[in-house]
Amino acid sequence: MGDSRVSLFVKEPDNNISIQKIAEEHSEYIRQRVVDALLREDVRQCVTRSERMTNIELPSELDIYANTSFDWIKITHFDESGYLWIPVIESAFMQELRVAGFPLIWQKSNHLNELSTIEDIISCFSIGLSLSAKSAFDAFSEECQIAIEHRWFSELERERWFQELRKLHSLQVSTPVINWHTTLLHYDRIGAFLDHPFYPTARAKLGFDIKSLSIYGPEFQKDFHLQWLAVPLIHYYPSKNNEHRLPSLWPTFEDVGLPASMADSHALIPVHPFVWKNDLSGFLVEAEQLEVIRAPRPYLRVVPTLSVRTVVMLDMPEWHLKLPLTIRTLGAKNIRTIKPSTILDGDIIQTLLEKIVANEPSITNRVLLTREDCGGHVDNRAYLGFILRHYPVEKLNKSTLIPVAALMAQTSTGNTVAEEVAENFYDNNLEAFLSDYFDLTLRLHLLLWLRYGIALESNQQNSVIVLNREEPRLRILLKDNDSARIHLNYLVNRWPCFASWITQLQDRRILVADELPLAQMFTTITLQLNIAVLVERYAIILGLSVATLYLRIRDQIKIILSEFETAGENIQLANQLLLEDDQLYIKYLLIAATLAEKTETGAVDVNKFYGYSAPNFLKTV
């Protein structure tokens, strides 16, 4: 990073560590994640078409790089005139090989070029590609630099905030009354500083500059006011329950500086201020026929959540509002607008889940759901619309809510969030907490898969643990389930009472013809994201081997599958894919969301492109 980037962030630290050193640390962190991701996703078949060599087998010109603690892979198919050498070590989690260190070596004849920077490494991976394919790698290189900048800037804010919390603690300043929504915001913010486990540049919010990140990012958790558009009713499509579901704080036309008489002909649509300032004018030029009116006055104080585009109404925090936001996260193709079909689909799936939970005594009191039946869009435009999410306040009294995404994050005390949970709710028994969480998570999602033919994209943001000092001590709250996979024929034949709901789904990608997509989603979301990454982290803290914890997970799955088999469910595919096969399915996030087009991957959804290359940690224990 050049000095022009560095000057955006920091003054010289008091501890005399140089700015350059700090920049290098963040760059090295992202570089490691990037190369591991390239290997994990076998980008350009860098693993499957490479030749693995020990140090003894290296050509003599590479002797100066030889190290007995790792091997090398030799990649020859990028370019006929050169070879790429990558030092590697074996891995058992999510990939068979990880990068062992730097530099990588590009060899042409006897000339060796050390590749130490992210830019050079990604450029090497684009050798031999067409100009259009190469442009995606070039864009990813820029994304890496943004990830470094955003991580650096956010880490400075984390340390500032943590120092503030530690100071308040040392002064024994009394804290305000704690309730479910303040704890949720607190842990949302903590979770925002933790990277996605697998997408290497997850800290990059593409489209935000540093100033925008500091205003609208969950790491900074600043409040702001929403802007509003008056849209002619002929262009506005509200969900069926809007009239009765809008919160009492929803503005009148007078509240936003418009004549009250406009209520007869227009509807008010909230707009995120970032979109209002940066993209809305262009959108409205494209859609001149809409004849919308910009309200002169902002209204409704909100604060961002972990998902960035979803904000909390601070004066009615049981209401969260999901808004289109023209940034990209977890890949260049993942723009955070709102597809109009998700407004209805999310409500339908949440309603199905509500009926299922009520029908299943084993989870009736353990699973909570948000209500997502209120929203609207303007002429099917993904950048003009909203979804309102209502939390079940009556069931959250004296509860602490924590997104799964925050469980591994560090708190201001130096402990992790899960350790804090164990201290506050499990008498410091971290193993007991993890066991409860793992068991409920597995039971819930295996039940949905095997009995109902449903798999949820209930990732670390969409799964929230609800903790109480009374029983049940741990519950799970599910939200934002508009991207599920449903085995259509199975569900309709087994549960015909749900057929009328299923036929209303607008995004037909939700409906699948067989069980495999359910298994893929369960494996990549529930098992890998929501369970395995915790196993990898907390085995160390507990002083246990990773294999020991995975054996417990395997045993829990076997017990649950046996119970379902006894109840008449077909567990064959689940047993095979989870417990018997040598490999597990894995999401190829980087390829699908950044480096390749859908025409190349064949994926109907960039977030559901799978490989079959992860070592099965449940079998190898």
pLDDT of res. 7? 30
Alpha-helix residue ranges (DSSP H) falling in 13-58:
19-40
106: CATH? 3.30.310
Does a structural domain hold residue 314? Answer: no
pLDDT of res. 173? 60
Does a structural domain hold residue 38? Answer: yes
pLDDT of res. 269? 96
What are 211's two structure tokens? 């100033």
Contact 53, 73 (CB under 8 A): yes
CA distance 485 to 526: 13
Higher-confidence position of 170 and 249 = 249
Does a structural domain hold residue 63? Answer: yes
| pLDDT grade for 31, boundaries at 50, 70 and 90 | very high
What are 370's two structure tokens? 């948000």
| pLDDT tens sequence across 32-71 | 999 999 999 999 999 999 999 998 899 988 999 988 899 9
Lowest mean pLDDT among 1-10, 100-109, 127-136: 1-10
Q: Is 102 exposed, middle or buried (0-12, 13-18, 19+ CB in 10 A)?
A: middle
Q: State which residues form the domain around 108.
A: 3-131
Residue 6 has pLDDT above 70, yes or no: no
Does a structural domain hold residue 55? Answer: yes
Indicate the Cα dihedral angle 19, 144, 534, 541, nearest 10°.
-20
Average pLDDT over residues 279-289: 87
Does a structural domain hold residue 37? Answer: yes
Residue 178 has pLDDT above 90, yes or no: no
pLDDT of res. 598? 85
Residue 532 has pLDDT above 60, yes or no: yes
Does a structural domain hold residue 600? Answer: no
Higher-confidence position of 500 and 173 = 500
Does a structural domain hold residue 149? Answer: no
Q: Say how many domains are in the chain.
A: 1
Average pLDDT over residues 367-381: 94
Q: Which residues have C-beta within 8 Å of that of residue 478, sequence separation ≥ 6?
A: 350, 353, 367, 368, 369, 370, 456, 458, 462, 463, 464
| pLDDT grade for 286, boundaries at 50, 70 and 90 | confident
Summary mean pLDDT of the chain: 93
pLDDT of res. 244? 61
Does a structural domain hold residue 201? Answer: no
DSSP assignment, residue 79?
A: E
| pLDDT tens sequence across 301-338 | 999 999 999 999 999 999 999 999 999 999 999 999 99
**If we measure between CA atoms, which residue out of 597, 53, 540, 1 comes closest to residue 333?**
597
pLDDT of res. 81? 84
